[in-house]
Amino acid sequence: MTDPVTPAPSDLAFVPFVSVDHMMGLVHHIGIRTVLGDLARAIEADFRRWPAFDKTPRVASHSDVGVIELMPTSDGETYGFKYVNGHPSNTRDGLQTVTAFGLLADVTTGYPKLLSEMTLLTALRTAATSAMAARHLAPKGAGTMAMIGNGAQAEFQCLAFQAVCGVDHVRLYDLDPRATEKCARNLQGSGLRVTPCISAEQAMEGARIVTTCTADKQYATILTDNMIGSGVHINAIGGDCPGKTELARDILLRSDIFVEYPPQTRVEGEIQQLPADHPVTELWQVISGAAPGRRSAGQITLFDSVGFAVEDFAALRYVHDAIQGTEFYTRLDMLADPDDPRDLFGMLQRAAPAG
């Protein structure tokens, strides 16, 4: 993607803001499968230039009930960050587990050039990243996926794997049958064959791709070692903070493990169960051709995904381009713009009410 034409100085004080309503309108305008495919390509393109980015583990503030995080990065021309929380108990009060917003800024001037909701966008980019990784790691021709955990992310994951990887059958399981019913209902008319299941073991039957996405903030064993046979790709996206895992440790020992950014994943991902020197492969190396992905039909591959700032950066750049020439944003007057940059106080004075 190329950035739009740089705005005139008089326009720099106005920052495009994409609200939740705007984001929903944009997705429907483009089509969700197209958006997921576009995001997968945008994220993959930025993974191919991984060395160009500033990288740091996200800055996290943990509490007994959740976490609030900042996820920053820059490619030297554009800076981006995301604010995101994770509070699993929110659902008891009718609130989202995850909410987020993000910003892009011009490195040369420091001026913001996009402010956007990212609750929906995070779900979209997480699903797109999962499918993009699976396209490099999953067995060829895998048409059935087990979706373990049928909460807010599940439908996005299913549709992304359909759009990017050609999955045509999803087998759903959640501890809460109502979540499975919700997911199955939402996927009606999607073209996917949907099979609700009463156990994780049943959901695994015939699945060559397994996605785990649960929300409880604890060490858990969603998948036991005996449930994973040869030739499976595991997309573990629910382990995303210290003290939270979904897979039995023995599964990790039998798998070739792929991660986004090891210093972050070793703290927050499934591999927090393993020694700090346990070998992993960075996904960008597979995408760039510097390291192999799936090498054999019987190999077990594991994408231990916790989300990384480069994915959000790519998603925000995609939205920044996609809204150009549309009605799906508002111009926010959020930057002071005095005629004389040195006379900020004079601008304030001239705005005083008459009389």
Residue 3 in this model has a pLDDT that exceeds 70: no
Burial class (CB in 10 A: 0-12, 13-18, 19+), 28: exposed
> With contact defined as beta carbons under 8 Å apart, do 46 and 104 qualify?
no
For the stretch 165-200, pLDDT in tens is: 999 999 999 999 999 999 999 999 999 999 999 999
Q: Give the C-alpha distances (Å, rounded to integers) separating 88 from 246, 295, 331.
A: 15, 37, 34
Amino acid at 249: R
Q: Which pLDDT value is given to residue 9?
A: 41
240 a catalytic residue:
yes
Take residue 305 and report the two structure tokens written for it: 């995904």
**Chain Cα centroid distance, residue 304:** 13
**Chain Cα centroid distance, residue 217:** 18
Q: What's the DSSP call for residue 65?
A: S
Q: What's the DSSP call for residue 66?
A: -
d(CA 269, CA 239): 5
Q: Which pLDDT value is given to residue 46?
A: 98
d(CA 122, CA 316): 10
Q: What is the mean pLDDT of residues 18-30?
A: 98
**pTM of the entire structure?**
0.93
Q: Which pLDDT value is given to residue 6?
A: 44
CB-based burial, 165-188: b 16+ in 10 Å, e otherwise: bebebbbbbbeeeebbebbbeebe
Stated as kind and residue range, the H or E segment containing 271 is none
d(CA 48, CA 2): 16
Residue 8 in this model has a pLDDT that exceeds 70: no
Going along the chain from its start, the domains and CATH numbers come out as: 9-120+310-350 (3.30.1780.10), 137-307 (3.40.50.720)
Q: Which pLDDT value is given to residue 5?
A: 42
For 7, residues 6+ apart whose C-beta sits below 8 A from its C-beta are none
How many C-beta neighbours within 10 Å does residue 87 have?
Answer: 19
Take residue 318 and report the two structure tokens written for it: 């995609």
d(CA 230, CA 215): 27
For the stretch 66-101, pLDDT in tens is: 889 999 999 999 999 999 998 888 988 999 888 999
Closest-CA residue to 183 (of 227, 213, 221): 213
Q: What is the mean pLDDT of residues 299-325?
A: 97
Q: What's the DSSP call for residue 267?
A: H
For the stretch 242-251, pLDDT in tens is: 777 889 999 9
> With contact defined as beta carbons under 8 Å apart, do 209 and 275 qualify?
no
Q: Which pLDDT value is given to residue 240?
A: 66
d(CA 214, CA 234): 14
Q: Which pLDDT value is given to residue 4?
A: 43
How many C-beta neighbours within 10 Å does residue 70 have?
Answer: 14
Catalytic residue among 38, 240, 304, 312: 240
The CB-side HSE value for 43 (13 A sphere, CA atoms) comes to 29
Per the prediction, the chain carries an average pLDDT of 93
Coil vs helix vs strand at 241:
coil
